A and B are shown apart, each in its own frame.
Chain A
Amino acid sequence: MDINIQDYKRVGVVTVGGRIDGATAPDFESHLKDIIQSGQNNLILDMNNVDFMSSSCLRVMLTTRKALMKVGGRLVIADPSSRVTDTLDIAGIDVLFEVFADREAAIASF
């Protein structure tokens, strides 16, 4: 898993790629918790380069979404790969996440 975080004034952009499963989800979660604890209430997950995501990744996304909603923030997805779209659809949780075609559109929504 590769992860890069850009923290803007209104939103943090987390670019993640590779494989997010039981082996890497704890590291993914740790990065997201760190950025939330730093005071950022809005996050964009740029997931164009994700080539595998298991339910461990989905759990992290759901718990992060809940944590941000509690403080009035949002978690959205930008530019998802076909694997990400497939997994969200198979799990039946695609309706829980706002999805934008690219990160610029996602940033503009905040």
Chain B
Amino acid sequence: MSTMTLYVDRKSLIHDAFAPLTKLLYVMVSIAITYIYPDLLFVLSVAIFSGVVLLVGKVFRKILPILALSILLIISIIIVQGFFHPENQTELFSLGFLTFYKEGLSYAVLLTLRVMNMVMSFGILILTTKHDEFVEALIKRGLSPKIGYVLLSVLQLIPQMRATMGKITDAQKSRGMETEGSLIVRVKAFFPLIGPVVLNSLNNTRERAIALEVRGFNTRIKKTFLNVSRTYHYQGLIQFILWMALIATIVWRILS
């Protein structure tokens, strides 16, 4: 069954030597410290570090399309902050009546690096961790198994629904639904498209609920796991280092 995942199956240090929860902690710490300590060089080095981790994990190329998704936000940040940042003083260049300033640019670069670091550190988690292993690790740490079910089933459901979407679009087009033209025509087309999808999925929900119930979804008995969990070494030490990095950044920020 196809699932929606960005996981890349490779053999690498990042894939094999780091537990899912350690990677999750890295995501949180690396994002937090770039916001706690707003220094351009510091944020740049954190971002580069995330990039290097991706390189070691042999998934650096896979992050580029994900970074491209946030390119609009980044461009918008650079343009708007460069021209309109409230602390703008030093002129860099001007276009007609608009002037581009240095302060805005450096602020925009800081924000951009933070966004890129956020995407890349998430990438480490997403691209090198199997989602079922990740969810099982979370359940072992105390996440409700019901929420765990929800998380995993969404990943299977979306590709199924995407297939349904193709069918419905074709069916409605063959009945003469127009999908191009003025805004009103297109708004009108939205209902015959979304309606069957909703009905279909709610019907499936009912059936799925019965199927789950039959399999003891609501029992209070302790759940067991299908997959044997992998063992990782030195995770406690690595997580301790990450916590220390966070604390050190907070202290550094307060002192400076």
A, B bound: no
Binding site for A on B (CB under 8 A): none
Q: Interface of A with B (CB < 8 Å)?
A: none
